[in-house]
């Protein structure tokens, strides 16, 4: 390495290190300190408010809140919990097949009583012709049939108010859908005009709710839509919690069916009005003395009930996991428009949706999403095989032109215009296209982001393991700092060390990615400029750290993709008579020497 190149290379390394340290010291650490200070200040303000206003009691625990009302239990393969008879409110719901953490100890509790911290609940009621509540969340219903709600045993509740008797049959399927079939009987002597009214409310700070429901989920909030989501008149409506708190809302009428709800990364609570009737939907953020809550609600079409007669209306409430196949099944069997769009597929939805379908099918056939990802890479490589072959052939051709181009650059160093003309002439004579090698990037980048989105937002990859990877939706759980599990302390502890954890918290899979990227570079055409070549050679190290924080399923995809690309590119280079840096390395190590004529002795 020449002296000037050495200085440039060292300068690059120093700048890179200074940048990393400066970013940690002046951006990351101040943000952490600011967040901790804000949390401490909030705690102080809360304690002071409790001291000054002792009349505002602390929220009881979930268990204590559940004991304040008469309840009806429900149980299914997917859910268990209770319905509060006061208001016929579904406010106690656990997801039996999903757990808060990978150790599978505590189930995810999605719905919580209003009286408890982070209350989250919903239900269906009725409005009068004047727009006032005929029934509300404070009116008590009576259980008239059944004693436990299951997929095979519906129950019946009843209430009589304002001259109307309402008999409600509640049924629950094998997954996450509650169906309320109401029979309204007019007990008076004049016609009544009534409208179904559904509401879902969630109390408290949305970030704190996320941590209480799924620890660690609040860290991902900037990468996925959290807030209001729904399909109204065939249009996707979305509003995040930040905008909700600023006073923005959703307000729309729907004549074509639809739904609206509150969504987290993996969980959804949604109102599904009767799909053959029009309804209006609205959201609202309310601040009260003790707390604040976000509400989504729907109001259905006015229904006429003649004196002494009855009518029946059916409305539904979804509360559970956003499993793609479950949502699509409801979409197909119940006619719920675009219900799978409760999942944040992103701007590349035209790729993410088919990608998930392919991965899901492969996982079902092969037995795991890990194997499905490996098979998916092979399929992508086959589809793009002609393009990649053309690209690699172009690289091989460019490598053969390296010496003639170097000669042109030296001969016409003082005449840039002539140098460019000669280079273009060389390209034309040899029928070389320097841009052809870049063509796969145009397809690789959207594939990368689409696959990242699929692995990040779909619950099917959550807590799904493969080899040493305990959760394909989370980063590699191993770390250099504990020698990949050989030392007696957890990798999480290593990763949490400020600055140092960023380096020694790297796992096995990101290291494999960096290594395969390095090998791939060595069977490719290196840049002619020495400084550019050295910078390029630094990229595997840089990307090792970048990929260290990505979902392990995504890194698994790229490691396997690199391995296949190495074989494909090496074959094409050798086929075109190009010696790669790998060949040079092997020749040095195994004592092979090139003969005068270019062959091997």
Please tell me the distance from the alpha carbon of residue 268 to that of residue 213, in angstroms, as a whole number: 12
For the residues of 312-339, what is the DSSP string, one character each?
EEEEEEEEEE--HHHHHHHHHHS--TTG
Concatenating the DSSP letter of every residue in 37-101 gives HHHHHHHHHHHHHHHH-TTSPPPPPHHHHHTTS-EEEEE-SSEEEEEETBTTEEEEEEEEEEESS
Q: What are the distances in angstroms from CA 327 to CA 269, 332, 445?
A: 12, 9, 29
The CA distance from 465 to 458, in Å, is 15
Residue 13 confidence (pLDDT) above 70:
no
- pTM attached to this predicted model: 0.80
The closest of 568, 581, 564 to 526, measured between CA atoms, is 581
CATH of domain 71-344: 2.70.98.90
Angle of the 530-547 helix axis to the 3-23 helix axis, nearest 10: 20
220 has pLDDT over 70: no
**Whether pLDDT at 82 is above 90:** yes
Q: Please tell me the predicted confidence (pLDDT) of residue 581.
A: 67
Lowest model confidence (mean pLDDT) among 16-30, 77-91, 165-179, 283-297: 16-30
3-state secondary structure of 566: helix
Report DSSP letters for 448-488, one per residue: HHHHHHHHHH-GGGTT--BTTBS-TTS--S--GGGGGGTSS
Q: Phi and psi (nearest 5°) for 312?
A: -125, 135
CB atoms within 10 A of CB 48: 10
> Domain coordinates of the chain in residue numbers?
71-344, 361-474+507-590
Q: Look at residue 596 and tell me whether its pLDDT is greater than 50.
A: no
Can you give the pLDDT at residue 170? 98
Predicted pLDDT of residue 392: 66
Please report the pLDDT score of residue 527 as a whole number. Answer: 60
pLDDT at 53: 45
473: nearest Cα among 275, 284, 266? 266
If pLDDT is split at 50, 70 and 90, which confidence band does 93 have?
very high
Q: Are 114 and 66 in contact, with CB atoms under 8 Å apart?
A: no
Instruction: Return the axis-axis angle of helices 402-411 and 416-430, rounded to nearest 10°.
Output: 160
Residue 545 CB partners (closer than 8 Å, separation 6+): 502, 503, 506, 510
Q: Dihedral (C-alpha) 585, 589, 595, 599: value to the nearest 10 degrees?
A: -60
- Cβ contacts of 281 within 8 Å, gap of 6 or more: 230, 232, 237, 250, 251, 252, 253, 254, 258, 260, 271, 296, 297, 298
Taking each helix axis from N to C end, the angle separating 385-400 and 402-411, rounded to the nearest 10 degrees, works out to: 50
Residue 594 pLDDT: 44
Give residue 595's pLDDT. 39
Q: With 60 as the cut, is the pLDDT of residue 74 above it?
A: yes
The mean pLDDT value for 18-36 works out to 51
Q: In terms of Cα–Cα distance, which of 387, 197, 391 is closest to 295?
A: 197
Res 519: pLDDT? 87
Q: Residue 374's pLDDT band (boundaries 50, 70, 90)?
A: very high
Given the structure tokens 């899979």, which residue do they identify?
A: 509
Phi-psi region of 308 (alpha: psi -120 to 50; beta: other; left: phi over 0): left
- Residue 258 CA to residue 277 CA, distance in Å, equals 10
The residue that leads in pLDDT, 248 or 413, is 248
Mean pLDDT computed over every residue of the chain: 83
The number of C-alpha atoms within 13 Å of 576 and in the hemisphere containing its C-beta is: 23
pLDDT tens track for 482-539: 788 777 777 777 777 777 777 788 889 999 999 998 888 877 666 656 666 777 788 8
Look at residue 257 and tell me whether its pLDDT is greater than 80. yes
| Cβ atoms < 10 Å from Cβ of 518 | 16
Higher pLDDT, 19 or 139: 139
Kindly state the greatest CA–CA separation across the chain: 111
Q: Which residue has the tokens 């209350």?
A: 119
pLDDT above 70 for 40: no
Q: Are 495 and 480 in contact (CB under 8 A)?
A: no
The answer to whether 386 touches 439, Cβ cutoff 8 Å, is: no
* pLDDT tens-place string over residues 407-434: 777 788 777 888 888 778 877 776 666 6
Separation in Å, CA 86 to CA 38, 70, 194:
38, 7, 21
The β-bridge partners of 253 are 280
For a pLDDT cut of 90, what percent of the chain falls above it? 45
CB 418 within 8 A of CB 412: yes
d(CA 102, CA 188): 57
């Amino acid at each position: 390495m020449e002296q000037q190149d050495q200085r440039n290379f060292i300068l690059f390394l120093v700048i890179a290190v200074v940048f990393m340290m400066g970013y940690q010291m002046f951006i990351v650490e101040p943000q952490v300190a600011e967040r901790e200070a804000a949390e401490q200040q909030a705690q102080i303000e809360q304690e002071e408010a409790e001291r000054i206003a002792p009349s505002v009691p602390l929220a009881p625990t979930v268990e204590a809140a559940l004991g304040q009302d008469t309840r009806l239990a429900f149980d299914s393969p997917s859910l268990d919990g209770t319905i509060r008879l006061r208001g016929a409110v579904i406010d106690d719901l656990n997801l039996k097949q999903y757990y808060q953490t990978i150790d599978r100890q505590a189930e995810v509790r999605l719905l919580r009583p209003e009286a408890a911290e982070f209350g989250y609940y919903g239900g269906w009621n009725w409005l009068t012709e004047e727009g006032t509540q005929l029934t509300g969340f404070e009116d008590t219903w009576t259980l008239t049939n059944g004693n436990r709600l299951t997929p095979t045993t519906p129950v019946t509740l009843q209430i009589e108010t304002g001259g109307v008797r309402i008999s409600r049959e509640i049924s629950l399927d094998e997954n996450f859908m509650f169906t309320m079939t109401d029979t309204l009987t007019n007990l008076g002597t004049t016609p009544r005009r009534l409208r179904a009214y559904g509401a879902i409310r969630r109390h408290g700070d949305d970030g704190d709710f996320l941590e209480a429901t799924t620890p660690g989920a609040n860290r991902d909030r900037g990468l996925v839509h959290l807030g209001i989501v729904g399909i109204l008149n065939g249009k996707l409506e979305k509003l995040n919690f930040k905008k909700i708190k600023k006073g923005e809302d959703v307000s729309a009428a729907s004549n074509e069916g639809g739904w609206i709800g509150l969504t987290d990364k993996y969980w959804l609570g949604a109102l599904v009005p009767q799909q053959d009737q029009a309804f209006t939907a609205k959201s609202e953020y309310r601040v009260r003395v003790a707390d604040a809550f976000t509400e989504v609600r729907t109001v259905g079409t006015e229904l006429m009930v003649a004196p002494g007669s009855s009518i029946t209306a059916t409305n539904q409430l979804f509360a559970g996991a956003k499993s793609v196949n479950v949502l699509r099944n409801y979409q197909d069997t119940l006619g719920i428009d675009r219900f799978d769009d409760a999942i944040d597929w992103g701007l590349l939805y035209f790729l993410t949706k088919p990608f998930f379908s392919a991965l899901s099918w492969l996982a079902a056939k092969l037995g795991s999403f890990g194997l499905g990802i490996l098979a998916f890479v092979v399929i992508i490589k086959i589809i793009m095989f002609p393009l990649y072959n053309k690209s690699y052939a172009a690289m091989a051709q460019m490598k053969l032109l390296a010496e003639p181009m170097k000669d042109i650059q030296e001969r016409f160093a003082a005449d840039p215009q002539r140098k460019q003309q000669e280079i273009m002439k060389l390209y034309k004579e040899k029928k070389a296209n320097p841009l052809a090698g870049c063509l796969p990037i145009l397809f690789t980048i959207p594939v990368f982001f689409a696959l990242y989105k699929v692995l990040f937002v779909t619950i099917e990859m959550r807590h799904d393991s493969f080899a040493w990877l305990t959760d394909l939706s989370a980063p590699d759980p191993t770390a250099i700092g504990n020698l990949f599990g050989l030392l007696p302390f957890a990798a999480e502890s290593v990763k949490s060390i400020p600055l140092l954890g960023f380096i020694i918290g790297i796992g096995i899979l990101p290291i494999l990615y960096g290594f395969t990227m390095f090998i791939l570079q060595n069977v490719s055409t290196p840049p002619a400029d020495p400084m550019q070549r050295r910078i390029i050679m630094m990229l595997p190290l840089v990307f090792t750290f970048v990929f260290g924080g990505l979902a392990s399923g995504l890194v698994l995809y790229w490691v396997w993709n690199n391995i296949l690309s190495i074989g494909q590119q090496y074959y094409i280079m050798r086929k075109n008579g190009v010696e790669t840096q790998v060949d040079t390395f092997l020749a040095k190590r195994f004592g092979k020497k090139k003969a005068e004529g270019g062959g091997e002795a």
